[in-house]
Amino acid sequence: MNREEINTLVVSDIHLGTSVSQKDKFLNVLDLNFKTLIINGDLFDNYSFHRYDKKDWKILSKIRKLTKTHSVVLVHGNHDEDCEFITGVTGMHFVENHSMVINNRSFYLEHGHQYDRWTSERPLATWFFTGLYYWFQKFDPSHTLTRHIKRLSKSWIRAKDIVRSKFVLKHQKTAEILMAGHTHYPEIRHFARCTYINTGSFCAESCSYCIIDDYGDFELVYV
């Protein structure tokens, strides 16, 4: 695929406000030549703005400039609660899900937390482990241990398998290509009635995103 002719750029799970976020990589991705930017959930991590550094604000400023000339969509993620004000200021379209058709190929996007039983059925446990995750970030400057813990937690609750199977079961007739985030696990899986794509995150050592060209062809890219 010619990466100079990107119709739609899809990213997820940037988690602004955390030190584990790979902000330089995300800024570089925002410099790509694309027509539409879709952030499939969890652009933000929290609204304690005192935690935001210069790069967090630089990203928000860059997004605000992009909205003047591009279509920019933020799909609601489980960390994007109560973000209507800041999305309004930046000019993003804030939606629960997003559908689009490119060259007669249909795409449907949701963040994916809707299918994660752990976050929906165990809110107190989720709150506790999220706080513990923040604590590890403070005392792990290299973020090696922090990222390892994140991978273990997602594997322990089998989030990637649960989200994928429930998403496909519910929406396999909705669109040809289904796209999610949330699990931080990038993958492309082909099923009888649809293709499932998870775009991964910008919190891992190897970050990932998806590009879609004018023909509706797609590719996962790792940085």
The pLDDT tens digits of the residues spanning 24-63 come to: 999 999 999 999 999 999 999 876 677 889 999 999 999 9
| Domains in the chain with CATH codes | 6-222 (3.60.21.10)
CB 107 within 8 A of CB 175: yes
- Mean local confidence (pLDDT), 205-222: 97
Per-residue pLDDT tens over the stretch 109-122: 999 999 987 655 54
| Residues whose CB falls within 8 Å of the CB of residue 211, separated by 6 or more in sequence, listed in order | 1, 3, 6, 8, 9, 10, 32, 34, 218, 219, 221
pLDDT at 142 over 70: no
Q: What is the pLDDT of residue 81?
A: 80
- 124: enclosing H helix or E strand: helix 123-138
pLDDT at 21 over 90: yes
Across the chain, mean pLDDT equals 86
- 121: enclosing H helix or E strand: helix 117-121
Reading the block at residue 22, the tokens are: 């790979």
Per-residue pLDDT tens over the stretch 144-165: 555 555 555 555 557 899 999 9
Which of 3-7, 38-42, 201-205, 206-210 bottoms out in mean pLDDT, i.e. has the lowest? Answer: 3-7
- The residue among 220, 203, 155, 193 whose CA lies nearest residue 9 is 220
Q: What is the pLDDT of residue 87?
A: 87
Q: What is the pLDDT of residue 177?
A: 98
More confident residue, 222 or 84: 222
- 1: enclosing H helix or E strand: none
- 182 confidence band (pLDDT: 50, 70, 90): very high
CB 21 within 8 A of CB 203: yes
